[in-house]
Structure 1
């Protein structure tokens, strides 16, 4: 069983972003520009591994920053390019060194809390898009549950390929498809025996890749979870149970907002300043109301209420909605 490695949340976020990139080979220097510390931590943990070079640089010619293809010079034993005057400009190897995600290592860390059977390395089902990870023993399931991993499901082409694949290979009972695609960008599938779940949504700790069996079970088998009445929620607030109704929230910020409100609700001091809740959830200045935070949906109004700059959870209160709110 692989030991769970503690990383910063920034490093985990960067890894999931790297998984969503169009190309599987990424310039390390580009990742360094996002976060040098997070990139170096992922390289040290061998979640990112060297993979040759991406020979494209930002060449400065006539004071214009343009992408230029770097080529290998056997004579000079270096990469470089010719500028508009024909002069050879050498490029340091480190500037075009590439890396890629080690999916075997990453998926082992994601499933470290589970008894997993299958190959030591994930088996590609669709090249660079979908992998078979094996099976896990999962409380609530009658038999070991098959697990796949998929990336770039927000891309229509990628989604269409996955839909066709799960249509050709239906699971005997259920299948869990983990993904790096944020929950709000995952389309709905009519093939309900496939549970498509963003990795970050079921992590036990935001600074670890390890998936929480309890959180994952609540997502896959919500009906088996012991719940408080009249309202309860999953650990990550991605699911709210309200008087027999199940309401699902996919957005990271919406879940962080709800977590603050539920923490206050269970503490017995439910009222929170709306501006503070929005700020802590990561919303920008343009999102200055709960209505903007939740977008077009209205189901949250059944248990989240607001007045005079405050907001709170109350599953028994009936709230009238002011015009335009």
Structure 2
């Protein structure tokens, strides 16, 4: 079993997401081992959490005052520790000093492990530490590939604005899907035309945490051309967008009559078939 296919249960997946959504995307080893021992083993074993620089501060374990103490290296003990008036020298286990950070590359390899991406596709970081382009994925029931991205910390207003500015300056040819570990409820998606943000938790299947299931992703799509780029009249799945040549129309209603007009153009048809009246 490879690291990208190792089993991550729901509890471990939720812990990982909570770490990724913090500003530093890091967690202290002491917290991991004291409160999340089983999840720590799974996440570290899968390469999703990797060691970072240690923190040379600990809470006194001998004086019962819960005060942080600075640690010193003891050549005799060959370990870090501190001197306690009550207990003398106290050695602190190295695993408690270690800080772990999320490994973006390992996570994105796992995230896309079930997706049909081009062999040459590699995650490309577009906004450092927050936005990655993953490639164009082939999904069940869709003729054209769908561009898929990953983003974190979208509930942070500053990060959200950076993402809006980045995408706004690079509009998709058709539409764009962004998978995120952030909570999507409340995101101002109206800021971006032809973009859909989908929470990772809506795309996982039991026993395969932190992996996008292609059929779930296909079922979640609300946009994207359901017709072909060469058609004179194109529409998005759900009919939220219509294109006539290079002209785009946004439709806010949940249904369309068989005969209707947009900006003086007359259309005839149904959800499964549409044409422009001549």
**Normalised by the size of structure 2, how large is the TM-score?**
0.67
Q: How many residues align?
A: 226
Distance 1:145 1:81 in 2: 56
Residue 84 and residue 104 in structure 1: after superposition, are their counterparts in 2 closer, same or farther (change >3 A)?
same
Instruction: Please list the CA deviations of residues 295-320 of structure 1 after superposition, one character each: whole Å capped at 9, or x if unmatched.
Output: xxxxxxxxxxxxxxxxxxxxxxxxxx
Which residues of 2 match residues 307-318 of structure 1 at below 5 A?
none
The structure that is helix-richer by fraction is 1
1:130 has 2:125 as partner:
no
Q: For the residues of structure 2 that align with 1:119 and 1:56, how far apart are their CA atoms?
A: 44
Aligned-residue RMSD, C-alpha: 3.3
Normalised by the length of structure 1, the TM-score is 0.58
Structure 1 residue 181 displacement after superposition? 0.9
Q: CA deviation at 1:13?
A: 0.9
Contact 1:57/1:70, CA 8 A, preserved across alignment: yes
**CA shift in 2, pair 1:206/1:170, >3 Å:** farther
Cα distance in structure 2, aligned partners of 1:224 and 1:74: 66
Distance across 2 between alignment mates of 1:165 and 1:106: 23
SS at match of 2:15: helix
Q: Which residue of 2 aligns with 1:178?
A: 179
Aligned to 2:145: 144
Whole-angstrom distance in 2 between the partners of 1:141 and 1:92: 54
Give unpaired runs (5+ residues) of structure 1.
226-243, 247-325
Contact 2:63 2:84 in 1 (8 A): no
- 1:36 alignment counterpart: 37
Look up the match of 1:26. 27
How many Å apart are 1:12 and its aligned residue?
1.1
**Consecutive unaligned residues in structure 2, runs of 5 or more:** 227-252, 256-278
Question: What does 1:202-241 correspond to in 2, within 5 Å?
Answer: 202-205=203-206, 207-221=208-222
Alpha-carbon distance in structure 2 between the residues aligned to 1:127 and 1:68: 34
Q: Which residue of 1 aligns with 2:240?
A: none
Which residue of structure 2 lines up, in the alignment, with residue 199 of structure 1? 200
Q: Which has the larger radius of gyration?
A: 2
Partner of 1:163: 164
Aligned to 1:296: none
Q: Residue by residue, what CA displacement relative to the aligned partner does 1:264-310 show, whole Å, maximum 9, x if unpaired? A: xxxxxxxxxxxxxxxxxxxxxxxxxxxxxxxxxxxxxxxxxxxxxxx
Secondary structure at the aligned position of 2:189 is classed as: coil
CA-to-partner distance for each residue in 1:110-148, whole Å, 9 max, x for gaps? 222221136675222222211222221234656432222
